[in-house]
Amino acid sequence: GAVVSQHPSRVICKSGTSVKIECRSLDFQATTMFWYRQFPKQSLMLMATSNEGSKATYEQGVEKDKFLINHASLTLSTLTVTSAHPEDSSFYICSARETASGGDETQYFGPGTRLLVL
Protein backbone atom coordinates (compact mmCIF):
# COMPACT_ATOMS: atom_id res chain seq x y z
CA GLY A 1 0.00 0.00 0.00
CA ALA A 2 0.87 3.66 -0.22
CA VAL A 3 3.11 5.21 2.41
CA VAL A 4 2.50 8.36 4.40
CA SER A 5 5.19 9.72 6.68
CA GLN A 6 5.03 12.24 9.50
CA HIS A 7 7.70 14.24 11.20
CA PRO A 8 8.47 14.54 14.01
CA SER A 9 7.13 11.39 15.62
CA ARG A 10 7.29 12.94 19.06
CA VAL A 11 7.74 16.49 20.29
CA ILE A 12 7.84 18.13 23.68
CA CYS A 13 7.56 21.89 23.86
CA LYS A 14 6.97 24.66 26.34
CA SER A 15 3.65 26.37 26.64
CA GLY A 16 3.38 29.33 24.28
CA THR A 17 5.68 28.00 21.59
CA SER A 18 4.70 26.85 18.10
CA VAL A 19 5.17 23.37 16.70
CA LYS A 20 5.16 22.34 13.05
CA ILE A 21 4.20 18.83 11.98
CA GLU A 22 4.87 17.58 8.45
CA CYS A 23 2.85 15.00 6.58
CA ARG A 24 4.25 13.56 3.36
CA SER A 25 2.89 11.10 0.84
CA LEU A 26 6.01 9.21 -0.20
CA ASP A 27 4.98 7.30 -3.28
CA PHE A 28 1.85 9.01 -4.50
CA GLN A 29 0.36 12.43 -5.02
CA ALA A 30 -2.42 13.71 -2.84
CA THR A 31 -4.37 16.89 -3.57
CA THR A 32 -6.16 16.39 -0.29
CA MET A 33 -4.85 15.33 3.09
CA PHE A 34 -6.69 15.09 6.36
CA TRP A 35 -5.59 15.99 9.86
CA TYR A 36 -6.99 14.11 12.83
CA ARG A 37 -6.43 14.42 16.55
CA GLN A 38 -6.78 11.64 19.05
CA PHE A 39 -6.86 12.02 22.82
CA PRO A 40 -6.06 9.02 25.04
CA LYS A 41 -8.62 6.23 24.78
CA GLN A 42 -10.75 8.21 22.38
CA SER A 43 -11.55 8.02 18.71
CA LEU A 44 -9.94 9.92 15.86
CA MET A 45 -11.53 13.31 15.41
CA LEU A 46 -11.19 15.15 12.14
CA MET A 47 -9.65 18.59 12.56
CA ALA A 48 -9.36 19.82 9.01
CA THR A 49 -9.11 18.95 5.37
CA SER A 50 -5.96 20.20 3.70
CA ASN A 51 -6.26 21.14 0.05
CA GLU A 52 -3.26 21.62 -2.21
CA GLY A 53 -3.04 25.18 -3.41
CA SER A 54 -6.04 26.46 -1.49
CA LYS A 55 -7.29 27.10 2.01
CA ALA A 56 -7.91 24.29 4.40
CA THR A 57 -11.40 23.42 5.53
CA TYR A 58 -11.74 23.28 9.30
CA GLU A 59 -14.23 21.30 11.33
CA GLN A 60 -16.54 23.09 13.68
CA GLY A 61 -14.81 23.98 16.91
CA VAL A 62 -11.28 23.87 15.49
CA GLU A 63 -9.59 27.27 15.55
CA LYS A 64 -8.07 27.97 12.16
CA ASP A 65 -5.81 30.67 13.58
CA LYS A 66 -4.39 28.25 16.11
CA PHE A 67 -3.96 25.26 13.85
CA LEU A 68 -2.39 26.58 10.68
CA ILE A 69 -2.42 24.26 7.71
CA ASN A 70 -0.35 24.65 4.57
CA HIS A 71 -0.53 22.27 1.63
CA ALA A 72 2.13 23.67 -0.66
CA SER A 73 2.71 20.65 -2.87
CA LEU A 74 1.03 17.45 -3.93
CA THR A 75 3.06 15.46 -1.43
CA LEU A 76 3.35 17.72 1.61
CA SER A 77 0.96 19.20 4.11
CA THR A 78 2.02 20.89 7.33
CA LEU A 79 0.11 21.54 10.53
CA THR A 80 1.43 24.25 12.82
CA VAL A 81 0.12 24.41 16.35
CA THR A 82 0.60 28.03 17.33
CA SER A 83 1.00 29.18 20.92
CA ALA A 84 0.59 25.64 22.15
CA HIS A 85 -0.94 24.99 25.57
CA PRO A 86 -1.07 21.84 27.67
CA GLU A 87 -4.59 21.09 26.46
CA ASP A 88 -3.20 20.80 22.93
CA SER A 89 -1.20 17.77 24.00
CA SER A 90 -2.49 14.94 21.86
CA PHE A 91 -1.73 12.45 19.10
CA TYR A 92 -1.93 14.16 15.71
CA ILE A 93 -2.35 11.93 12.68
CA CYS A 94 -2.61 12.77 9.01
CA SER A 95 -4.06 10.69 6.22
CA ALA A 96 -4.10 10.88 2.46
CA ARG A 97 -5.68 9.22 -0.51
CA GLU A 98 -4.05 8.81 -3.87
CA THR A 99 -5.23 11.43 -6.33
CA ALA A 100 -4.48 9.61 -9.57
CA SER A 101 -7.45 8.34 -11.50
CA GLY A 102 -7.96 4.72 -10.78
CA GLY A 103 -6.58 5.20 -7.32
CA ASP A 104 -8.65 3.32 -4.80
CA GLU A 105 -10.60 4.89 -2.00
CA THR A 106 -8.22 3.77 0.70
CA GLN A 107 -7.00 6.45 3.07
CA TYR A 108 -3.52 5.81 4.36
CA PHE A 109 -2.48 7.11 7.73
CA GLY A 110 0.85 8.47 8.75
CA PRO A 111 2.51 7.09 11.90
CA GLY A 112 1.32 10.04 13.96
CA THR A 113 2.98 12.76 16.01
CA ARG A 114 2.71 12.75 19.76
CA LEU A 115 2.73 16.30 21.10
CA LEU A 116 3.33 17.07 24.75
CA VAL A 117 3.07 20.68 25.84
CA LEU A 118 4.54 21.44 29.24
Partner 1 sequence: QQPVQSPQAVILREGEDAVINCSSSKALYSVHWYRQKHGEAPVFLMILLKGGEQKGHDKISASFNEKKQQSSLYLTASQLSYSGTYFCGTARSSGNTPLVFGKGTRLSVIA
- Contact set with partner 1 (CB under 8 A): 1, 31-32, 34, 42-46, 49, 93, 95, 97, 99, 104-112
Instruction: Report the residue number, 87 or 105, with the smaller CB distance to partner 1.
Output: 105
Instruction: Report the residue number, 37 or 88, with the smaller CB distance to partner 1.
Output: 37
CB of 13 to partner 1, least distance (A): 19
Q: Tell me the sheet residues that pair with 5.
A: 24
Q: SS3 breakdown of the chain: % helix, strand, coil, rounded to 5?
A: 5, 50, 50
Instruction: Report the residue number, 24 or 97, with the smaller CB distance to partner 1.
Output: 97
CB of 24 to partner 1, least distance (A): 14
* CA atoms of 16 and 30, how far apart (whole Å): 32
Among candidate residues 110, 83, 91, 98, the one with its CA nearest the CA of residue 15:
83
